[in-house]
Amino acid sequence: MTPEPSTKQHNEGRTMDVIASLPDSHIRAILVALCNDRHTRAKVVDMATKLAAAPSNCNGSDQAICVQCEQAFSVLARPDLSCRFHPGRSYPDTSDDAWADHDEDIHGPHETEENLAEWPDAFLWDCCDQTGSASGCEVGSHRSQS
């Protein structure tokens, strides 16, 4: 018997269905509004650049960004074992020099998306103990959000 998905997984699936069904004009308006945040804007530009440089076997309708490695790929023609990713989570390496003058009471928590983007080598992966910028320690197939 197949186990029931958790309530959280079910709600996330429904949320993604709502997002996927939005008209293009709404998606564009929301994206532009979200890009007021510089870190979100940088991530959007990075993903747009990856999609623009997608392999020639991708056309506009079957392109996706892999949720594991954040690379562009063709949903229809994805080759097996072309995704390098970390299955674990990253955490701050508090012994790294990047944190020498970082006081969490003043500067906020170490573990933020912004800090990971700005100082990836000040983080370690719990799956392999490599620095945040290290190439993925596992290989598999690309996966899309949907």
Q: Where are the domains of the chain?
A: 35-140
pLDDT for 2: 46
- Alpha-carbon span 19 to 132, nearest angstrom: 30
pLDDT for 59: 65
pLDDT for 60: 67
Q: What global pTM score does this model have?
A: 0.70
Structure tokens at 1: 């018997």
The residue with greater pLDDT, 55 or 95, is 95
pLDDT for 138: 96
Question: Do β-strands 83-85 and 138-140 pair in parallel, antiparallel, or remain unpaired?
Answer: antiparallel
Residue 122 buriedness (CB in 10 A; 0-12 / 13-18 / 19+): buried
* pLDDT classification of 1: cutoffs 50, 70, 90: very low
Sign, Cα dihedral of 8, 12, 13, 15: positive
